[in-house]
Amino acid sequence: MNNKPIKALTLCGLLAILTLQGIWLFTTYSTVKNETIKKSNELFKNAITTELQTRMDDCTDNDGNDVLIEKNFHLDLEGDNIEDSESMTSQVHLFLQETLDTLFHSPVSLNKLDSIYQGLLEQANIHTQTTCNLVDSAGIVLNSSVPDYQIPPNSQTLQTDITIIKSNNKLGLQAVLTNPYWAIFRQMGLLLVATGLIMIFVVYCIIYQIKIINKQNKIARVREDFSYAMIHDMKTPLSSIIMCTNFLHSGRLDNKPDIKEKYFSIIENETDHLLMLTNKVLTLSKLENHKLELAKATIDLQPMIEDLQEKFTAKTDKTVHFTTDLQTDTVYADEEFLKEAISNLIDNAIKYSNKSVDIHISSLETEKYTLIKIRDNGIGISVEDMKTIFNKFERAAATQRIHTGGATGFGLGLNYVYQVMEAHEGKVIANSIEGEFSEFTLYIPRITTTS
């Protein structure tokens, strides 16, 4: 199955989601930024009014100059027709700023204005550093609340609107908010966290989906390889059975009893081989589903090992040398399944070896386990393959092995050993050096007695 279109579609979907999330975040950021600028402008005007009121109080409390200020204010507005209340307020502020500066020599205090403005921003939960500047109509800084003020890059600041305080030379006040973006991000904090968690969840789900697709593809390939291996492994015995049956039916061997008996033996052996493979698949299925009941008993190892030695010595074309070292003669296990597990290990030792095979079988006891070891001088197992040798159908990728001249099979042997040991509540440990040897150790729990 080609999953490239699925991966491409999934990737496009992920990019679309990321793009939409990015647009949403940018739109939200722009909205919050504009609201912050609007709020900063309003607070700056409030700060100017507060600072102006402070200077007026200082000028009128001691000298009784409030009458003079009011008189000059009426003279200044005489003849003007001001209907807009906002314009009226601006005219009042402009008049008061010029009067306090010109008549009472009390210009605006940038430091006090900065302090007032900073406090108003903190109350509005806008945490940032501010600088209040006296600027001309072009925005050039003439004086600042910060000594030797240097204008930072625009990317690091937000500037309020200029508030005119002198009409003749267009002087005005302007505040600069330094690094205000943290304040904006703090206001978006919950949204950013929620968006981040959603994106992590979406990415995780997509990655998990891709893993499932890859796993399904791998299972499909394993099934395909298993089917190929099964057909290939069964084809030879079936062909032999059909060929021998045809010869026997032809009658050409009626006068040759020795050859006829040989053909019958071939049919029996190949039939046993097919039946063994079928039973192995069924047994594995039962073991995996915990539906197989073991008939455990104390069994003798020596007769079992001798029977396996005779069986494999007779059936293989290779030269096989068996040596044994049984330090314990008995084991508590299901004889049928244990014998089949050891048989699988011996069969692998012969398959994956050179023309001359040395197989050493030993046993010993520990406090909790009876250990049975099967060691050979075969081609060994690579470090990479050691991670997967007990997996079901591991050797079912027989297509490559067959094409390269390797041994064929279903990849059930070692998985069968693993499942049998699991059913016995034991374990199997593999140790191998590629090109030198392989050794499998079966750990079978001993009979526990309670006092």
Residue 59's CB: how many other CB atoms inside 10 A? Answer: 21
CATH 3.30.565.10 residue ranges for the chain: 293-445
Taking 80 as the threshold, does the pLDDT of residue 363 lie above it? Answer: yes
The DSSP call for residue 387 is T
Tell me what pLDDT residue 405 has: 43
CATH 1.10.287.130 residue ranges for the chain: 201-285
Q: What is d(CA 21, CA 355) in angstroms, rounded to the nearest whole number?
A: 66
Taking 50 as the threshold, does the pLDDT of residue 338 lie above it? Answer: yes
Tell me what pLDDT residue 384 has: 81
Average pLDDT, rounded, for the chain? 78
Tell me what pLDDT residue 67 has: 46
Q: Of 166-180, 289-303, 368-382, 395-409, where does mean pLDDT reach its minimum?
A: 395-409
Taking 70 as the threshold, does the pLDDT of residue 119 lie above it? Answer: yes
What is the average per-residue pLDDT within 420-439?
A: 90
What CATH superfamily is the domain 293-445? Histidine kinase-like ATPase, C-terminal domain (3.30.565.10)
CA distances from 393 to 117, 186, 266, 413, 440 (A): 75, 56, 28, 9, 19
The DSSP call for residue 152 is P
Q: What are the φ and ψ backbone dihedral angles of 189, each rounded to 5 degrees?
A: -55, -50
Per residue in 301-320, pLDDT (tens digit) is: 999 999 999 888 877 888 89
Higher pLDDT pick, 118 / 22: 118
Higher pLDDT pick, 107 / 278: 107
Per residue in 33-71, pLDDT (tens digit) is: 888 888 889 999 999 989 888 888 877 655 555 544 554
CA distances from 413 to 158, 277, 351, 427 (A): 73, 10, 12, 15
Taking 60 as the threshold, does the pLDDT of residue 397 lie above it? Answer: no
What would the two tokens of residue 445 be? 């729990």
Tell me what pLDDT residue 344 has: 87
Residue 135's CB: how many other CB atoms inside 10 A? Answer: 20
Q: Of 107-111, 116-120, 222-226, 428-432, where does mean pLDDT reach its minimum?
A: 222-226
Taking 80 as the threshold, does the pLDDT of residue 185 lie above it? Answer: no
Nearest to 221 by CA among 5, 387, 400: 400
Q: What is d(CA 147, CA 54) in angstroms, rounded to the nearest whole number?
A: 23
Q: Of 153-157, 158-162, 203-207, 342-346, where does mean pLDDT reach its minimum?
A: 153-157
What is the average per-residue pLDDT within 258-277?
A: 81
What is the average per-residue pLDDT within 104-123?
A: 87
Taking 50 as the threshold, does the pLDDT of residue 19 lie above it? Answer: yes
List CB contacts of 295: < 8 A, sequence separation 6 or more.
334, 335, 336
Tell me what pLDDT residue 444 has: 95
The DSSP call for residue 82 is -
Higher pLDDT pick, 298 / 201: 298
Residue with tokens 């994106």: 199
Higher pLDDT pick, 362 / 280: 362
Tell me what pLDDT residue 342 has: 93
Q: What is d(CA 372, CA 147) in angstroms, rounded to the nearest whole number?
A: 88
Topology of the domain comprising 201-285: Helix Hairpins (1.10.287)
What is the average per-residue pLDDT within 374-390?
A: 86
What is the greatest pairwise CA distance in the chain? 149
Tell me what pLDDT residue 2 has: 58
Taking 60 as the threshold, does the pLDDT of residue 399 lie above it? Answer: no
Q: Which of 11-20, 179-188, 248-257, 434-443 has the highest mean pLDDT?
A: 434-443
CB 184 within 8 A of CB 29: yes
Higher pLDDT pick, 269 / 145: 145
Higher pLDDT pick, 312 / 213: 312
pLDDT band with cut points at 50, 70 and 90 for residue 443: very high
Taking 60 as the threshold, does the pLDDT of residue 81 lie above it? Answer: no
Taking 60 as the threshold, does the pLDDT of residue 422 lie above it? Answer: yes
